[in-house]
Amino acid sequence: MTYEDRILSCNECGQSFTFTVDDQAYHAEKGYTNEPKRCPACRQAKRAQRNDDGFDRGGREMYPVVCAECGKDTTVPFQPRGDRPVYCSDCFRRQGTSANTGRY
């Protein structure tokens, strides 16, 4: 299929932006049927907002904790109850390998 650069208007800020030939080919390769509604700057701002709102990319709420082993600040996808230690991902991995009993 032959593509040509197209000028679109951003639904968010109203600015014009170019939907390039490369972008159109990428959209087609991924199977996207709709053209972009936001300019690249508004898409990036929306992504940043989504990542900063306390939810991870899967939409789960994240809770701030301090790792029980190394003391590093981190976040976890569950609300700690306080009766069990909570680890950062690195320490959790180390805990899993040292406690591995071979049952799985």
Q: Comparing 52 with 5, which gets the higher pLDDT?
A: 5
Nearest to 3 by CA among 14, 18, 16, 15: 18
Q: How far is CA 36 from CA 67, 69, 94, 99, in A?
A: 41, 45, 43, 48
| Residues 9 and 15 sit within 8 Å (Cβ to Cβ) | yes
What pTM value is reported for the model?
Answer: 0.48
Contact between 10 and 17 under an 8 Å Cβ cutoff? The reply is yes
Q: Tokens representing 101? A: 């009993």
* pLDDT tens profile 15-62: 999 999 999 999 999 999 999 999 999 998 888 777 665 555 566 788
pLDDT above 90: residue 67: yes
